[in-house]
Amino acid sequence: MRKSRAIDVSTGLFVLLGLVAIVFLVTQISNREFSLTETSYRLKAQFENIGGLKTGAPVKMAGVTIGRVEVIDYDMQLLKAIVTLRIDERYGEIPNDSDASIFTAGLLGGQYIGISPGGSEEYFKDGDQVAFVQDAIVLENLISKYLFSQAEKESAAKAEAAASQPAPTPQE
């Protein structure tokens, strides 16, 4: 009887610790420590490829979360993704020649937008457009480019080796 109770208690503790670990991981992954107040402004950026960027993704500057991705739309005339960024008003002095890039947080992490400050004396205002953007880097495209370049190098080396061999002489 006592062994059964000990097993039940240890199983219950194991399940409880598992649930606590899952809740902890969810709070770490969601990264919701940044709360936007009503005093914020919006910027728009046009990207040709946003990769896996999602609404709610952080907008960071020098590693500090300064805003969130509010809306992701697609413009049929421009054939580009239009990303609306909502920036907290505390960070209202971002030079208007700054650029926005899409980065990946770690190997398996989510994507975020990083803003690199420019050198202008004028700052972004509500509704402005970020002129300088860098699209997301898609890992599959990089791998395929690498593989194709390796195949081209091998075929060029084989063609060069075949061309450098002396032509067979006709036998009499």
- The ranges assigned to domains in the chain are 36-141
- Residue 136 or 84, more confident: 84
User: Is 80:46 a contact under the CB 8 Å cutoff?
Assistant: yes
Percent of the chain residues topping a pLDDT of 70: 87
Q: Is 169 helix (H, G, I), strand (E, B) or coil?
A: coil
Q: Which two structure tokens, joined as six digits, stand for 142?
A: 């990089």
Task: Judge whether residue 37 has pLDDT over 90.
Answer: no
Nearest CA to 98 out of 74, 79, 115, 75 is that of 115
In the chain, the amino acid numbered 143 is I
User: Quick check: 21 pLDDT over 70?
Assistant: yes
DSSP output for 35-77? ---S-EEEEEEEES--TT--TT-EEEETTEEEEEEEEEEEETT
Q: Mean pLDDT over all residues of the chain?
A: 85
- Cβ atoms of residues 92 and 79 within 8 Å: no
**Burial, 20: exposed, middle or buried (Cβ in 10 Å; 0-12, 13-18, 19+)?**
exposed
Q: Which of 14-18, 30-34, 92-96 has the lowest mean pLDDT?
A: 30-34
Say which residues have a Cβ less than 8 Å from residue 143's Cβ, sequence separation at least 6: none
The Cα 148–Cα 146 span in angstroms is: 6
Mean local confidence (pLDDT), 13-25: 88
Residue 1 has pLDDT above 60, yes or no: no
d(CA 84, CA 45): 7
